[in-house]
């Protein structure tokens, strides 16, 4: 018998017999082009905000040049001027109107959305359509009767009048959003809680609310943005005591002299609180707005 040659041990890293090595995927040109195009569109949309921030650090004569001044010595004088123009009272009025109206919207919208999603009735669709139809009415069509009613009740130039109006303004969209989030809660966990003897308050606060937390956060943030940016009611129903930040910004627009840099600094300070809130809650916002998007 002929002796067989001993097998050589497999070298480290050698592919087993019959194995076809995978080819490394090369980046596609189309994906690179799409990435570059996405970044370009994103920068295009953000460019006005970036330009506003840059202008806030310029002198007035530098902000009004044509072509624009790209290289300059940054200064904080415009921000000092804004703070010296009684900015804090306007900021306090905006915070009160925004936070209080958002809390009222959630307090009223959660029970309404729960009833329209978990225990709907025959006219549920009509109710939902009525809610959303109120957003189709132009604000200018209702400001006069609201002004007359506020004057009759002696609540003009009152921040709590704005709280009521902002609540009514944001409640329809909040009910629609919260109802869609309630519909995404698995019915199995609700039925299991009821089998265990949990009542309606326990099911609502201990079972459904933790699941809906991202959706509630997204709804609250959107209501805060709408209330913070609202201008028409504030400029027509307030004068000196209850004016908000958007009304404060109009005071820097003048027909005499230069005001672009100062207005930019005021706009940066006005948008900073809501930007900080949005940045802090961005994860909850993305999760809330994407609930139900992927099954």
- What's residue 294's pLDDT? 44
* Class in CATH terms, 84-289: mainly alpha
Domain boundaries defined on the chain:
35-78, 84-289
For 42, the token pair is: 């994103």
- DSSP H or E run through 156: none
Task: Report d(CA 210, CA 289) in Å as an integer.
Answer: 16
pLDDT value at 288 more than 80? no
Under 8 Å between Cβ of 85 and 77: no
The model's pLDDT over 64-104, given as tens digits with 9 standing for 90+, comes to 888 888 888 888 988 988 888 888 899 999 999 999 999 99
Share the mean pLDDT of the chain.
82
The model's pLDDT over 217-260, given as tens digits with 9 standing for 90+, comes to 889 988 999 999 999 999 999 988 899 999 998 888 877 667 88
Task: Report d(CA 203, CA 188) in Å as an integer.
Answer: 12
The model's pLDDT over 98-150, given as tens digits with 9 standing for 90+, comes to 999 999 999 999 888 888 887 777 777 888 888 888 888 888 888 999 999 99
Which runs of consecutive H residues, i.e. helices, occur in the chain?
A: 29-56, 60-63, 77-83, 87-118, 124-133, 143-152, 159-183, 187-195, 200-202, 209-229, 232-237, 245-250, 260-280, 282-289
**Better-scored residue on pLDDT, 289 or 52:** 52
């Amino acid at each position: 018998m002929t002796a067989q040659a001993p097998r050589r041990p497999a070298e480290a890293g050698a592919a087993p017999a019959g194995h076809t090595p995978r080819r490394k995927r090369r980046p596609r040109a189309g994906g690179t082009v799409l990435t570059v195009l996405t970044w370009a569109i994103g920068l295009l949309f953000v460019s006005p905000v970036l330009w506003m921030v840059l202008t806030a650090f310029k002198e007035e004569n530098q902000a009004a040049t044509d072509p624009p001044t790209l290289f300059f010595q940054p200064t904080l004088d415009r921000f000092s001027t804004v703070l010296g123009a009684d900015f804090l009272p306007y900021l306090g009025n905006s915070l009160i109107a925004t936070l209080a109206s958002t809390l009222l919207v959630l307090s009223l919208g959660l029970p309404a959305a729960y009833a329209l999603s978990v225990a709907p009735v025959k006219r549920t669709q009509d109710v939902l359509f009525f809610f959303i139809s109120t957003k189709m009415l132009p604000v200018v069509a209702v400001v006069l009767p609201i002004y007359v009613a506020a004057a009759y009740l002696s609540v003009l130039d009152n921040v709590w009048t704005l709280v009521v109006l902002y609540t009514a303004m944001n409640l329809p969209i909040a009910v629609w959003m919260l109802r869609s989030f309630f519909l995404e809660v698995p019915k199995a966990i609700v039925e299991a809680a009821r089998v265990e003897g949990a009542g309606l308050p326990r099911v609502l606060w201990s079972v459904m609310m933790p699941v809906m937390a991202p959706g509630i956060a997204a709804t609250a943030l959107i209501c805060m943005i709408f209330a913070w940016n609202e201008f028409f009611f504030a400029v027509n129903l307030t004068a000196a005591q209850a004016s908000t930040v958007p009304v404060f910004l109009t005071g820097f627009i003048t027909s005499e002299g230069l005001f672009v840099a100062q207005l930019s600094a005021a706009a940066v300070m006005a948008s900073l609180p809501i930007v900080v809130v949005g940045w802090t809650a961005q994860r909850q916002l993305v999760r809330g707005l994407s609930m139900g998007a992927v099954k």
